């Protein structure tokens, strides 16, 4: 590939205490939390909506926010508040009112107790209102491009906005891109897929249908199709086929994947039409963004392991809990997929997993934190990413308040702050 030198003086969007890159489940919670803690926060999102996979990706329902057995809720805080507000607008069903197997879970039983069905558009409205109420400086249609680093620290970032390239500066940066784009560009070691060299989990292009006869839908559709009822009767989110070998950090790979995903939508729709209750269903929308389950992982101060999840290890610096199974889809269509191994009833995630090596004023939240690939198959669910995002936002706020780096944050104080703000902390 040939190279081109490019130099330009950029206008700045301003200076902030905290800059959050990516407005998905992790990013929006990080931004709201940091702003509520009194920080001046920049939130940048490449699409025209907040919510990431939950909105642009049409992914749903929220997988369980309860422990492994569905007995006790272990992800609360901002996730709870968001769900409550969507429920108030008749756009979600509270997880304590769902069970498995049922239409809410596409008749899947294992690890699916207490899912949260929701409407993606209502969620968009709720997130819009919450960032405005918190005073977050939100820029949609704006994509992270690069970091300007000095001595292992980000000095400023380059963004692609509709008006052209612009810059911004902050004290602490939070990478919620879902690809660890900021980390990779800022000197943090990363890897893609499995640490053993296997490719990332496959991608899926979600779609939605309506005009379903709910009473006649009594069993799971033909594999690999899964249809999850939304709050509105007769309306469903559809998770179906997989696109293998997708590199979410490469434009050509993502282009080919999305085109293939569109073809798969039609194939899966044909299978759905043969499912009792779905004979007259209609596709109402197809996600404008393909759902990526796995991309880069960062090297952090600690790597969360499969053993940690299986033993239910309680870390002193734990900032989030989860109980969902290690859901690892076939990586190439030949390897076995499904729930690999077993998790403890509840396990914890340490703060150190979000603190990267190689860039001192950066935190990483969401599915790309430092963890073994199989372990990430558990907490990559959207409620897990929300819990990690809230923790990152609180940590960034404490770092700014004390004039210290994220790695120097007192984790006992961080845990107390998260508890005060409704998070479930062991």
Q: Which fold has domain 11-96+106-193+296-420?
A: FAD/NAD(P)-binding domain (3.50.50)
Residues 262-280: b if buried by 16+ CB within 10 A, e if exposed: eebbeebbebbeebebbee
Residue 53 · residue 59 · CB < 8 Å: yes
Residues paired with residue 197 on neighbouring β-strands, in sequence order: none
Residue 87 · residue 98 · CB < 8 Å: no
Contacts of 13 (CB under 8 A, 6+ apart): 42, 137, 139, 159, 161, 166, 167, 168
d(CA 235, CA 320): 32
| DSSP count for the chain of H helices, then E strands | 9, 19
d(CA 43, CA 23): 7
The predicted structure's pLDDT at residue 341: 82
Backbone angles phi, psi at 351, to 5 degrees: -55, -35
Q: How far is Cα of residue 382 from the mean position of the Cα atoms in its chain?
A: 5
d(CA 108, CA 168): 45
The predicted structure's pLDDT at residue 242: 96
Residue 310 · residue 341 · CB < 8 Å: yes
**3-state percent breakdown (helix, strand, coil) of the chain, nearest 5:** 30, 25, 45
The predicted structure's pLDDT at residue 1: 75
The predicted structure's pLDDT at residue 337: 74
- The position carrying tokens 């963890």 is 371
The predicted structure's pLDDT at residue 359: 98
The predicted structure's pLDDT at residue 196: 85
From the list 33, 16, 17, the residue with the least C-alpha distance to 365 is 33
Residue 262 · residue 341 · CB < 8 Å: no
d(CA 426, CA 419): 9
- The position carrying tokens 């039983």 is 109
Note down pLDDT in tens along the chain; length 426 residues. 799 999 999 999 999 999 999 999 999 999 999 999 999 999 999 999 999 999 999 999 999 999 999 999 999 999 999 999 999 999 999 999 999 999 999 999 999 999 999 999 999 999 999 999 999 999 999 999 999 999 999 999 999 999 999 999 999 999 999 999 999 999 999 999 998 888 999 999 999 999 999 999 999 999 999 999 999 999 999 999 999 999 999 999 999 999 999 999 999 999 999 999 999 999 999 999 999 999 999 999 999 999 999 999 999 999 999 999 999 988 988 777 777 889 999 999 999 999 999 999 999 999 999 999 999 999 999 999 999 999 999 999 999 999 999 999 999 999 999 999 999 999
**Domain spans of the chain?**
11-96+106-193+296-420, 202-292
The predicted structure's pLDDT at residue 332: 85
For 394, the enclosing helix (H) or strand (E) is helix 382-402
Contacts of 107 (CB under 8 A, 6+ apart): 100, 101, 218, 219, 220
Q: Residue 51 carries which DSSP code?
A: S
Helix ranges (DSSP H) in 139-249: 181-185
From the list 200, 373, 371, 375, the residue with the least C-alpha distance to 294 is 200
- Contacts for 265-271: CB closer than 8 Å, 24+ residues apart: 265/205, 265/207, 265/240, 267/241, 268/207, 268/224, 268/225, 268/238, 268/240, 268/241, 269/207, 269/209, 271/221, 271/222, 271/225, 271/240
- The position carrying tokens 């977050």 is 136
The predicted structure's pLDDT at residue 339: 78
3-class DSSP string for 78-96: HHHHHHHHHHHCCCECCHH
């Amino acid at each position: 590939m040939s190279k081109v030198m490019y130099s330009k003086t950029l206008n700045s969007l301003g200076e902030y205490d905290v800059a959050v890159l990516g407005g998905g489940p992790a990013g929006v919670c990080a931004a709201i939390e940091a702003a509520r803690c009194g920080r001046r926060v920049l939130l940048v999102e490449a699409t025209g909506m907040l919510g990431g996979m939950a909105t642009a990706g049409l992914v749903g329902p929220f997988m369980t926010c309860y422990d492994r057995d569905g007995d006790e809720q272990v992800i609360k805080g901002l996730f709870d508040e968001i769900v409550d507000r969507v429920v108030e607008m008749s756009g979600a069903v509270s997880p304590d009112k769902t069970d498995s197997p049922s239409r809410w879970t596409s008749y899947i039983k294992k690890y699916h107790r207490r899912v949260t069905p929701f409407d993606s558009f209502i969620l968009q409205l709720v997130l819009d209102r919450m960032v405005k109420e918190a005073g977050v400086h939100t820029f949609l249609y704006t994509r992270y491009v690069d970091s300007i680093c000095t001595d292992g620290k980000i000095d400023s970032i380059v963004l692609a906005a509709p008006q052209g390239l612009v810059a911004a500066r902050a004290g602490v940066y939070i990478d919620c891109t879902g690809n660890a784009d900021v980390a990779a560009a800022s000197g943090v070691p990363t890897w893609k897929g499995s640490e053993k060299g296997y490719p990332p989990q496959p991608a899926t292009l979600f779609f939605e249908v309506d005009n379903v006869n709910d009473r006649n839908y009594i069993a799971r559709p033909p594999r690999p199709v899964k249809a999850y009822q939304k709050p509105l009767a007769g309306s469903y989110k559809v998770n179906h086929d997989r696109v293998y070998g997708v590199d979410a950090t490469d434009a050509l790979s993502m282009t080919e994947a999305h085109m293939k995903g569109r073809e798969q939508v039609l194939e899966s729709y044909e299978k759905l039409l043969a499912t009792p209750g779905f004979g007259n269903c209609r596709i109402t929308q197809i996600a404008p963004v393909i759902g990526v389950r796995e991309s880069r992982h960062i090297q952090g101060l600690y790597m969360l392991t499969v053993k940690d999840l299986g033993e239910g290890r309680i870390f002193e610096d734990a900032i989030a809990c989860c109980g969902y199974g290690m859901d690892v889809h076939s990586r190439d269509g030949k390897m076995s997929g499904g729930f690999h191994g077993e998790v403890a009833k509840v396990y914890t995630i340490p703060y150190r997993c979000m603190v990267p090596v190689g860039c001192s004023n950066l935190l990483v939240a969401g599915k790309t934190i430092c963890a073994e690939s199989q372990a990430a198959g558990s907490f990559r669910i959207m409620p897990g990413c929300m819990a990690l995002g809230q923790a990152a936002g609180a940590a960034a706020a404490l770092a700014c308040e004390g004039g210290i780096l994220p790695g120097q944050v007192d984790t006992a104080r961080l845990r107390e702050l998260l508890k005060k703000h409704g998070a479930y902390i062991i």
